[in-house]
Structure 1
Amino acid sequence: MKLPKNAHVALVDGENFTLFRNDGQAFEPRLKSEASPDLDVTNFSAGVRHQDDVGQELGRTQLDELAHGAAVAEWLSAKAVSNDLDQVLIIADPKSLGEMRNHYHPELKKRIVGEIDKTLTGQPIDRIEQAIAAA
């Protein structure tokens, strides 16, 4: 995947949000850590769509995780609207990414250069860079 120089990378799962910036070239990303925000996870209505009987019985309805994905999308959207975010690649586990998409502001959608639906949180930076280059 081509990741523009200075593009942000949002690495997300149901509990974590890490922000990076590409300091490398388009096809050879080199990620540098950015300050990740302290999110206010309040949108628990996000999980309402997932409140089915089977999901509740099997423990598949994790409202906290879905609310975290919504909070990340809302934070990224606010940064895009305020012009503090130019280009962004979003890497998230499939469930979080699906929830995040429901909360993208149109301005954020314009700035997304790609999405990778894979759980990479907790991985070394070089492994994340390899996943981006291979996408």
Structure 2
Amino acid sequence: MKLTKGALVAVVDGEKLALFENVGAQDVDLKAKATPDIPERVSGAPGRYSGGANPDDDTQAEDGFAMGVADALNHMVLTHKAEALLVIAAPKTLGQLRKGWHKETEARLVGEIAKDLTGHTTDQIATAIQNA
């Protein structure tokens, strides 16, 4: 996948967010950015509760974190801090993020990669982007 210079890359799972900026013109070259505080939310999507299909509070906490990340990324897009956005997230987290996107955030998405790459090195993340 080609990634424009200046694109924001968000690497997310149910507990962590890492942000990078692509500083490369030809190849993907990621530079770590400061990560905003994500406020804790009691649960993710409205109407979710612990039960047979959602057995524990950990799932609700992960869903809530994903919605908090969506809010933070929406804010970055709406305040013109991200002109292009690539999201790399665990598949379940990616599904939750999609529920929270603002229409402007959706318009600025240049791609999504459904993989859990949190905890990977910057080089491994750049390689995954180039191979996508």
Q: Is the 8 A contact 1:69 1:96 kept in 2?
A: yes
Percent identity of the aligned residues?
38
Q: Please name the residue that 2:31 is paired with.
A: 32
**CA offset digits 1:80-116 (Å, max 9, x no partner):** 1122211110000001100000000001011110000
- Structure 1's consecutive aligned runs of 4 or more residues displaced over 4 angstroms after TM superposition are 49-52
- SS of the aligned residue for 2:45 comes to helix
Aligned partners of 1:89 and 1:112 also within 8 Å: yes
SS for the counterpart of 1:102 is: helix
Task: Calculate the aligned-residue CA RMSD, in Å.
Answer: 1.8
Question: TM-score, structure 2 length as denominator?
Answer: 0.91
Q: 1:41 to 1:60 in 2, by over 3 A?
A: closer
2:118 is equivalent to residue 124 of structure 1: no
- Cα drift, residue 47 of structure 1: 6.7
Mapped to 1, the partners of 2:65 and 2:99 lie a distance apart of: 13
Q: Is the 8 A contact 2:48 2:60 kept in 1?
A: no
Q: 2:11 is matched by which residue type in structure 1?
A: L
- Which residue is equivalent to 2:17? 17
CA contact (8 A) 2:42 2:60 kept: no
**Structure 2: stretches of 5+ with no match in the other structure:** none
Alignment size in residue pairs: 132
Distance 1:85 1:134, change over 3 A: same
Corresponding residue of 1:64: 61
Give the conservation status (yes or no) of the 8 Å contact 1:50–1:61: no
**Match in the other structure for 2:108:** 111
Relative to the length of structure 1, the TM-score reads 0.89
User: Is the contact made by 1:43 and 1:70 (CA closer than 8 Å) also made in structure 2?
Assistant: no
Contact 1:70 1:99 in 2 (8 A): yes
Q: Which residue of 1 aligns with 2:41?
A: 42
Cα 1:50/1:111, change in 2 over 3 Å: farther
Take 1:70 and 1:18, find their aligned partners in 2: how far apart are those partners? 15
**8 A contact 1:9–1:21 mirrored in 2:** yes
Distance in 2 of aligned mates of 1:93 and 1:17: 11
Q: How far apart are 1:53 and its partner, in Å?
A: 1.4
| Unaligned residue ranges in structure 1 (runs of 5+) | none
